Structures are given as structure tokens and as C-alpha cells.
Structure 1
Amino acid sequence: MGGKVVFKEYDPDQLTFLPYKLEELVPQGHPVRIVSKVVDQVDVKPINRKYKGGGASSFHPRLMLKLLIYGYLTNTYSSRKLEDQAAQNVHFMWLLGMKKPDHNTINRFRSEKLSGVLKEIFSHIVLLLQQEGIVSLKEAVFTDGTKIESVANKYTFVWGKSIKNSKEKMKAQLDELWSYAQTIAAEELKDTAPLEYSEINPEKVKETISKINAALDDKEDVDKKVRQKLNYAKKHWPENLARYDEQEKLLGGRNSFSKTDPGATFMRMKEDPMLNGQLKPGYNLQISTQEQFILNYSLHQTTTDYQTLPSHIEQYETLYHALPKAVVADAGYGSDENYGVLQQKGIEAYIKYNTFDQEQNKGIKAFGNDSLHYNEQEDYLVCPMGQHMQHIGTGQRVSTSGYVQLISRYQAQNCENCPMRGVCHQAAGNRVVEINHSLRIHKQIAKERLNTEQGIKYRKRRPADVEPVFANLKHNHGFRRFLLKGMSKTEVEIGLLSIAHNLRKWKA
């Protein structure tokens, strides 16, 4: 038989000789102490300048910053949950000195006071990491991007192509009305010209419809359907065009935006539960890391990574008045513009181009443009059969980012009886090849650099440095969707997340 069961004494109303101190309940080395210590060293003057003064007293910016950073460090992103933690969680209570800001105060501070200044705070913390010898701002950084979903409804989209099609359809219908009116009232419209596409705006369309109406007003044989269409056009078209103009301003060169979060662009999300890559409103997050610490972050509305690198590097230079020795990135960043920008700034580009991996595994594609020998002195290409392809002209190609590329064209002299024609060239006439010599040279340099001993080390290190950071943020800490709307507010969220990530790792 077992002995007598003994329970520890339990009395929830029992008093202690001395009251507990919160200091005693927070262990040394706890992450909340790291947050408090680091934020105490940060200059919060940029936030102070956001306060107007007068009225009731405010919670100190340093206190509010600690609350938000520790909240994001502990996966507490909601302002209401942060309010609860401030009243219930011992670590939050110690951090805030028993102060209890409500959720409205927390949200206003995050949305308004940190907007436009948090990157400066973030950079101060990175500089502290550098002082500790943990990171170096002048060594290589590893850059990559990921898409993060907006809080906006995914069914509230506006497409740039749809707006263009609607305006073209409106122009075509207006041309039909104009042609019809000319057949009946040519005399009344003799001093008026039809609208060009560039003139499709609310004022011009309204004016044109009024002239057509006036010309047909006293005509008895006007088709009833034409009158109905004119009445509809007069009532709706100017209003629709005004809306299209506003939407095009919000697009700002993008192909889409969300009605409920105009800052968000529709992007294909890999994390879709059905793994079919659904289009959802979101933002393109770019980070540069070193030893898995985030040294630079930027948020973009473009769906492609290569367009983000110039401004991302520009921001790095603005924040730290320094540039990294090298940038290591995957083939998504391998463009003529990016290679040129990094070269101009004296940064070594360890960036793959789109066919690098294929060339490593299978060699250069036979009969492809890259397989043709180029004679730089005499400016001609040599085809697979040894025939000279002469330079026949130069043109320009503008990328989606607005970057102008110089394109040289070369043509073979006689492809008609060539035994290689079937595999080399199938179009009519002699083969014509277009070459971007700037990109060709950049690719040669990139290939040589990536295959050096240092390049191979960087290529192996890149997936282990930057990619785990995204995995940590999204999967370990559950941040797959923004809580706030608009570029300025979502940038604050990413800033808080990046600071929290660095402090979490610093402690580890």
C-alpha cells in the first residue's frame, strides 16, 4: 500500500511579509530586459518632434516604443492584445513601470508617431550591433524579397488594363456616335473635330456629347437607340472618366491596386493554402541581412524583385552613410540596370543572371545569342558556321522600371543553304540577332566572380543567411499578413518586426 498523500499548502488569500517587486519576477537575461536596455540607448528625438505640445500629458515615446517592440518580439501584434498584456503580463508591467496605455493610444502612436521616422530608430539599433562587433556595415550583405499579404479584401481589385480597355471602348463608342451624327447633321458639326484618344477626359467628352446632342436636337429621323446611348453617355461617361483618372493616379504605373488598401498591389502569393499561387493584394518586402541580422528593409509596390534593388541600396547608403563591400542575391536581381548601379557605387555584385544555373549544369545553350563569338575591335558576331554577322543598326529598349537599354542588331549574310539552318534559325531570311553589350559584359563579369572561391562561398551562404529570416518571421512568428493599410503604416509594421527580430537574435 502507498503512503499518505500530502498536498502543498494552498491559500490564495495568504499574505506575504513583504510585497513582491516586479524586478524580482523578471529573470536576468530575459528578452524584455534586452529590449529595455537597447531602447534606452536609442535617440528618440525623431519621434519627439512628432508631438505638438499642449493639452493632456502623453506617454513617453520611449515607453511606447518599448511596448511595441516587445509586443512584436512576443508575436503580440494587435493593439487590443497589447493593451491586455500591459494590464496582465508581468514582463510588460515591468517594462512599462505599471503604465497602461489603451489600444487607441497604442494604435495612434504606431500609425502616426512612428510613420516616417522608424527607419532612423532601426538604423540606430543596427549601429549598436556594429559597435558590439556583431555585424559590419561595410562587408557583404545578402539580399532577397518576399510578398506579404495586405489586410485588404482580395476581391476589391482595380486593374490598370481594365481601365485602359474601358477608355478605349468609350472612345470607340464616341467615334460611332460622331460618325452617325455626321451622316445626319454634317453642317452643324463642320467646325468641330472628333476627339483623339489623348483627349479622352471628362471635360472634352462632356463637351463633345453636348455638341452631338445639339446637332441632333431638331432632327426627326434620329435612331431611338442613338438617343438612348447619348443620354446614357451624358449621364455616366464624364463621371466614369473622372473615376478612371483618380484610379490611374493611385496606380502610379502599377498594373493593379486594391480599393480597400490603394497602397497594395495584386501579387502572386506562394503561401496560398491550396498551393496554386492566388493573386492577392500585398507588398514586396526586401531585406539585406548579415549573420541573419536585418541590416536594411524596404517595402515596394512592384511585383518583381529586380526593380527594387536600386532604391533599396540607395536607402542603405542614406541610413548609414556607407555601402556594403558586396551584394549577394539570386537571379531575380540580375538585370543590366542593377549590375550597372552596383558597379557605379563600387559594390561587388555576386548576383546570378537568369541563365547562370542552366549554364553551370548544361553549358551555354547551343546556337543561342550567348554562344556567338563577338569581335569587339571590328564589331561583328560569328555564327556557328563561322560566318560574320555584320552590325546593321542600334536601337533602344525601355524596361518596365524606365531604364533605357542600348541594343545592337547584327545580321548574317547567307543563311539560305546553311546545313545548320533548321536548328540555328527558322525564321524567313537571314538570321538577325539583338545584343545588349552592356548586359553581355556584366554577365561575363558576374559569371567569373560567382565562380571564384569567394563567389562559391557567398553562393552557399546566401540561402542560409537571408532565407531563414523570412521563414522565422512568417512561420515561427506568424506574421503573414499586415494589420494596417497603406505604405507608411505597413512600413512601420515591418520596421517593428525587423527591430524585434534583431533583438530576439541578439539575445540568443
Structure 2
Amino acid sequence: MKAKVVFKTYDQSQLILLPPSYDDLVPLNHPVRTVNTIIDQIDIAELERSYKGGGTSSYHPRMLLKVTIYAYLRNMYSSRRIEQALLENVHFMWLSGQSKPDHNTINDFRGKRLKGKFKNIFNQVVLLLADQGILSLKELFVDGTKIEANANRYTFVWGKSIKAGKERIKKQLKELWSYVEKVYAEEQMLPNQPYFGEIDPEKVAQTIDTINEALKDKKIDKKVKQKLDYAKKNWPKNLQKYNEQEAILGKRNSYSKTDPDATFMRMKDDAMQNGQLKPGYNLQASTNNQFITNYTLAQTTADTTTLKDHLKDHIESYDQTPQTLTADAGYGSEENYTDLEEKNITAFVKYNYFHKEQRDKKHRENPFHPDNLFYNKETDTYYCPMGQAMKKVGSYHSETTTGFKQQIHRYQATNCKGCPLRGSCHKAKGNRAIERNHHLVRLKEKARTLLLSEEGIAHRKRRCWDVEAVFGNIKQNMGFKRFMLRGMDKVTTEIGLIAMAHNLRKFSIV
């Protein structure tokens, strides 16, 4: 006999004596309570002072801050979706106290109110976590990743194109003047040659006027006349545009017209897997125990030039210098090693070819490699494998793109003729010469010793799962691969919200 089916009571019209409180509907260990508790402990006086007062009342910034951070923790980045959640999601209703700001208010708060103020809020939360022993500010693991900007991928401006455009105008001006010289070839009086040194709108306009004046009463080629008319109408205007674009570029080589602060970069995680160039920002992050302790955004594609500013920002934020810093070979440069040494930071930072030195026995034992030549520091002399002295023949200074000065010394052998090892030693026609940067050689030797120590090996192993796991969480689990906002100030706030959401989500499950 079939058992009787019993259903739980379902009656939508059933009244209850007391409506349930939202607080009863939110579990005690829910992440929304973590956000609420942490943000209640934060000083937001600076944020409150940004409100002028007068007129209608404003939504409380602490409530908006909680809602925005919790939305990012829930992978909700659209202001319209946040607005909808405040009407439908019981956790948002509880967190906001049933306040219902619309998407414009949320977007204005995120893009304008938090601009320049969120970093202080983020730092306060990190210090709270540090006080509880969740993370340490003494050991940093640094890495970078590129995040696509909210910009059109095809509205690019290239520095090389601007330079080529200016050179093209300069070349065509000279060709027009050559035509003037040809017209006056049979006359004794040739007009004064205009100045072709500077390419700016005013001087180009003056040069075109000079050429037109010289050809005013002459019979000239129809195509030349058309070119002069086009040049007078367009070239000064084009040069003005080039100058404006160069001002936006600064030291970069590209930018996007729809987000001028974004630079075109190769994205490793491109869907096409072909390393397409896209407008983006270079996110630099310091982590400890997989918590983000500091974040900065750079407009340069290489990580090498970002470390000094990133470290400076960390020290200014927390008024303390870390004891150790671990990073991969993308940060190994003379400038970075020098800066870390001056700050008395133990640096477990790889340099180019570090792994090749360890794995490639031929490279390590190659007697002809400059790194393996014997050097007598007292006499400042290198010795080739045949024992011939290579004395210093000169030195010079070079400067990096960031303005860092390097000193290079040049050493040369006196007689390589007839040497039985010459074919293996070098391919130059004359005597072998090498260039050495003694300061960099010393710094690399120091880095090598640290990296191969027990502590260095432990830090190198830890870096892989500490900082790289954070980027994996942000891009894969949180689904944040493209900014919603535009402009350096706004995207800096947005990546700060992502970093805060990452930390609080991880803290809620620790």
C-alpha cells in the first residue's frame, strides 16, 4: 500500500503576530556581518568632510561604503545591479538599514566621493588585520598583472605615429622649398630660406606663407598649388593635435582615446591566446599570507620601473619599512637593488638569467663568459682564459629611461693575434673587449647569495602561492578582468574596492 504523502504547510495569506527582523535572517557567520563589523571600526571623518551640507539630506557615507564593498565581495560591479540588490536581497537590505540609494548615487559615491580617500580606508583595514596577527607588514611578496581598461580597443594613439607625422610634414616642407629653389634657379635673387628646425603650428604656418609669397607671381605646377593649399589648411591644425597628444602621452608610447590614462599592453590572459594589445593598467600588489597589503596602478608595461614608487607608497601608507621583499626577475634591476639596499630591506629579487645560471651547466662553467673571467680588484684587471691581462681602457656613464645613472667600465686585451682559443673566446676582428658595471655585478652577487640561501629558497617558494594566487582569485573567482570606470583616479579607487573585497572575503573564512 502506498504511503500517504505529507507536505509542509504553505499558506501565503497566513498572518504572524510579529514580522521577522532582518537580523534574524542573516546568519551570524555570514560575510555581510564581517563587512559590517570591520567598516564600523574605520575612521571615515575625511570622507564625511567631503559633504558640503545644505539642501536635502544625504545617504550616510558609512552605509554607502559598506554596500559598495559588500557588492564587490559578491562580484557585483554594476551600479544598477547594486541598486536592484538593495530592493531584493535581504543581506543588502540588512546592511543598508533598508536605505534605497539609486544607481546614480552609488556611481557618484564610488567614482567621486571615494576618489583620493579610499586608500586611507583600505590601509586602516590592513592595520586592523595586522593587529590581529592575520597578516604581517614586515614580509612583502610583490608582483604585477595587467587589467584591461574600460576603453575601445581600436581608438589608439601611438607615439611613433606622432613622430612619423611630424617628420613627414618637415620632409614635405623641405620638398616644397626645393621646388621654390628650382623656380628661382635662373634668377639671382632667391628668397631667404625659412627655418626648418622646429616643427610647431606657428612656424609651419609662417613657412607655408613664405613659400606662397615666393611663388605668388610665378607660374607653378597645379599639384604644387594643391599641396600648398592643403598644407595651409591642415598642417598647423594637425601639428596642434600632435602636440596635444604628446602632452597626454608623457613618457608613454601609446594611449586610448576613450580612456587617455590607459596604455596599450599585451594581455597574457587574452581570450584569443595571441597576446593582443589592449588598453589597460599595470596593477602592482604587495601581499602577505594571501592578503593584499598595498596596491598601486602604473601606466608602464614593464614591472621593472614600478617597484620604487610602489614601495614608496607602502612606506608612506604605514609609516614603516618592510624587512624583506620577494619578487620575480621582472623587478631585478640595478636601480631597484640599489633602492632596496639603501632602505636596508633584505631583497629576495631575481635578476635576468638567474634560472639559466642554475640550470644551464654550460653557461655556468663557460670560461669565456665575462662573469666567469678572473678579476683582480686591486689592479682593476680582468684575465682571459689564456692568462692575458685585460686592462681598463675607459669608462662612461649611461642613463636609464627613469633617469638612473650607471657607470660602465671597458676592458680590452692587448694581443689576441695567434691565440689558439680565439675562435671560442670571441668573434671580434681586433682584440677582445668587455664592458662591466661593477656596481651591478656586486648587487647581483649579493642577490644570488640571498636567493640560494635556505631563507631565500623558502621565500621564493612562498611567493608563487602568496601573490600569484591573489591575482588568480581576482581574475577567475571574482571575475574582475576589466575595469568599469575610466581615468586613473577612478580605476585606482575601483581596484582598491577589489582589494578590500578580496581581503574581507578571505578574512571571513579564516
Give the deviation of 1:273 after TM superposition: 1.4
CA contact (8 A) 2:149 2:483 kept: yes
SS in 1 for 2:239: helix
2:296 alignment partner, one of 283, 295, 298: 298
Supply the AA of the counterpart residue of 1:452. Answer: S
Q: Which residue of 1 aligns with 2:355?
A: 357
Supply the AA of the counterpart residue of 1:241. Answer: L
Give the deviation of 1:123 after TM superposition: 0.5
CA contact (8 A) 2:194 2:207 kept: no
2:249 alignment partner, one of 251, 254, 258: 251
Q: Does the alignment pair 1:35 with 2:60?
A: no
Q: Which residue of 2 aligns with 1:483?
A: 484
Give the deviation of 1:244 after TM superposition: 0.6
Q: Which residue of 2 aligns with 1:7?
A: 7
Q: Which residue of 2 aligns with 1:505?
A: 506
Matches of 2:456 and 2:280, distance apart in 1: 33
Q: How does 1:363-378 map to 2 (within 5 A)?
A: 363=361, 364-365=363-364, 366=366, 367-378=368-379
Supply the AA of the counterpart residue of 1:449. Answer: L
Q: How does 1:128-167 map to 2 (within 5 A)?
A: 128-137=128-137, 139-167=138-166
| TM-score computed with the length of structure 2 as normaliser | 0.96
Q: Does the alignment pair 1:384 with 2:382?
A: no
- After superposition, give the CA deviation of every residue in 1:256-306 in whole Å (9 maximum; x if it has no partner): 111111111111101111211111110000000000010110000000001
CA contact (8 A) 1:405 1:436 kept: yes
Q: Which residue of 2 aligns with 1:461?
A: 462
Give the deviation of 1:10 after TM superposition: 1.3
CA contact (8 A) 1:188 1:215 kept: no
Q: Which residue of 2 aligns with 1:169?
A: 168
Q: Does the alignment pair 1:18 with 2:18?
A: yes
Matches of 1:262 and 1:71, distance apart in 2: 28
Matches of 1:323 and 1:471, distance apart in 2: 27
Give the deviation of 1:373 after TM superposition: 2.3
Supply the AA of the counterpart residue of 1:253. Answer: K
Give the deviation of 1:372 after TM superposition: 2.0
SS in 1 for 2:352: coil
Q: Does the alignment pair 1:240 with 2:229?
A: no
Name the stretch that deviates more: 88-97 or 407-416: 407-416
Q: Which residue of 2 aligns with 1:200?
A: 199
Give the deviation of 1:468 after TM superposition: 0.3
Matches of 1:422 and 1:114, distance apart in 2: 65
Q: Which residue of 1 aligns with 2:316?
A: 318
Q: Which residue of 1 aligns with 2:259?
A: 261
Matches of 2:423 and 2:144, distance apart in 1: 41
Matches of 2:334 and 2:39, distance apart in 1: 41
CA contact (8 A) 1:389 1:413 kept: yes
Give the deviation of 1:384 after TM superposition: 2.5
Give the deviation of 1:169 after TM superposition: 1.2
| TM-score computed with the length of structure 1 as normaliser | 0.97
Give the deviation of 1:419 after TM superposition: 2.1
Q: Which residue of 1 aligns with 2:404?
A: 403
CA contact (8 A) 2:337 2:347 kept: yes
Name the stretch that deviates more: 391-400 or 226-235: 391-400
- After superposition, give the CA deviation of every residue in 1:228-247 in whole Å (9 maximum; x if it has no partner): 11111111111111111111
SS in 2 for 1:146: strand
Supply the AA of the counterpart residue of 1:48. Answer: E
Q: Which residue of 1 aligns with 2:45?
A: 45
| Identical positions, percent | 56
Q: Which residue of 2 aligns with 1:121?
A: 121
CA contact (8 A) 2:155 2:257 kept: yes
Supply the AA of the counterpart residue of 2:168. Answer: K
Moved over 6 A (4+): none
* Paired residues, number: 504
Supply the AA of the counterpart residue of 1:348. Answer: T
Name the stretch that deviates more: 64-73 or 48-57: 48-57
Q: How does 1:440-455 map to 2 (within 5 A)?
A: 440-455=441-456
Supply the AA of the counterpart residue of 1:246. Answer: E
CA contact (8 A) 2:191 2:214 kept: no
Q: Which residue of 2 aligns with 1:227?
A: 225
SS in 2 for 1:308: helix
Structure 2 residues without counterparts, runs of 5 or longer? none
SS in 1 for 2:435: strand
Name the stretch that deviates more: 260-269 or 4-13: 4-13
Give the deviation of 1:192 after TM superposition: 4.1
SS in 2 for 1:397: strand
Q: Which residue of 2 aligns with 1:74?
A: 74
Supply the AA of the counterpart residue of 1:268. Answer: R
Matches of 1:473 and 1:372, distance apart in 2: 47
CA contact (8 A) 1:73 1:501 kept: yes
CA contact (8 A) 1:331 1:354 kept: yes
Give the deviation of 1:53 after TM superposition: 2.2
CA contact (8 A) 1:185 1:216 kept: no
Matches of 1:154 and 1:369, distance apart in 2: 45
Q: Does the alignment pair 1:345 with 2:343?
A: yes
Give the deviation of 1:153 after TM superposition: 1.1
SS in 2 for 1:77: coil
Matches of 2:12 and 2:390, distance apart in 1: 92
Matches of 1:407 and 1:55, distance apart in 2: 66
Matches of 1:104 and 1:445, distance apart in 2: 54
SS in 2 for 1:402: coil
Supply the AA of the counterpart residue of 1:95. Answer: L
- Superposed CA RMSD in Å reads 1.4
Matches of 2:86 and 2:118, distance apart in 1: 22
Supply the AA of the counterpart residue of 1:350. Answer: F
Matches of 1:408 and 1:318, distance apart in 2: 37
CA contact (8 A) 1:185 1:215 kept: no
Matches of 1:228 and 1:33, distance apart in 2: 73
1:334 alignment partner, one of 321, 332, 335: 332
Supply the AA of the counterpart residue of 1:286. Answer: Q
- After superposition, give the CA deviation of every residue in 1:84-107 in whole Å (9 maximum; x if it has no partner): 111110000000000011000000
Q: Which residue of 2 aligns with 1:216?
A: 215
Matches of 2:184 and 2:112, distance apart in 1: 60
Supply the AA of the counterpart residue of 1:457. Answer: A
Q: Which residue of 1 aligns with 2:419?
A: 418
